[in-house]
Amino acid sequence: MAERGSLHDAFVDELRDAYDAEKQLLKALPKLAKASTDEELRAAFESHLEETRGQVEKLEQVFGLLDEKVRGKHCDGIAGIIEEGKSVMEEDFDDQTMDACLIASGQRAEHYEMAAYGTLVAWAKALGHEEAAGLLEEILDEEKAADEKLSELAEGGINQAAGQGASGEDEDDESEAPASRTSRKSARKKTAKSRR
Ligand SMILES: [Fe+2]
């Protein structure tokens, strides 16, 4: 009977999955950046692309620390998320709505990665690989920061600007509080400004 795998095997398997996911994201992030209308959003995707290149290198270091060959294993999870992002980009949405959708796609990827690296950090610690755990934690922190940046952009004007465009359909809806109208207007101005 074949020997049963251990947590070490599961850990290496998960590392290969993460490595492949980063490689897929290296191709997907430039597309998200290109599809962005908001300049800050585009810059956020571009800077995370740079970070992702560094993450690939960090993962290579982790393989080295474990004396394992650098190898990826197709990550179906991120492939599915990227596929969904692609279908959204094919939709005929107005610019602000598209930006809001690109953020949603990006955050799906970030949350998937946060789950993966959270597990990897915990398993590295459980297996006594402190140095590897440190590198994986650095990546985890970068994913969290990228996710927060996207939330900040969404909530700092992009969602409101997109919502403003959508409200054209129910213009006679007077239930909205005046304060919220003002904040939407300023959100729109902010977005317009960031485009210049
Ligand atoms: Fe990543």
> What digits encode the pLDDT tens for the residues 47-98?
999 999 999 999 999 999 999 999 999 999 999 999 999 999 999 999 999 9
Q: Report the pLDDT averaged over residues 133-142.
A: 98
Q: Report the pLDDT averaged over residues 163-182.
A: 54
Quickly count: other Cβ atoms within 10 Å of residue 156's Cβ: 14
124 falls within a domain: yes
171 falls within a domain: no
44 falls within a domain: yes
13-49 pLDDT per residue, tens: 999 999 999 999 999 999 999 999 999 999 999 999 9
Rounded distance from Cα 171 to ligand 1 centre (Å): 42
Rounded distance from Cα 63 to ligand 1 centre (Å): 16
116 falls within a domain: yes
Looking up residue 99, the CATH number of its domain turns out to be: 1.20.1260.10
Average pLDDT, the chain: 88
Model confidence, pTM? 0.83
Number of domains in the chain: 1
166 falls within a domain: no
Rounded distance from Cα 3 to ligand 1 centre (Å): 33
CA distances from 75 to 59, 85, 113, 153, 174 (A): 15, 16, 11, 28, 48
Rounded distance from Cα 185 to ligand 1 centre (Å): 35
Rounded distance from Cα 139 to ligand 1 centre (Å): 7
Q: Report the pLDDT averaged over residues 93-116.
A: 96
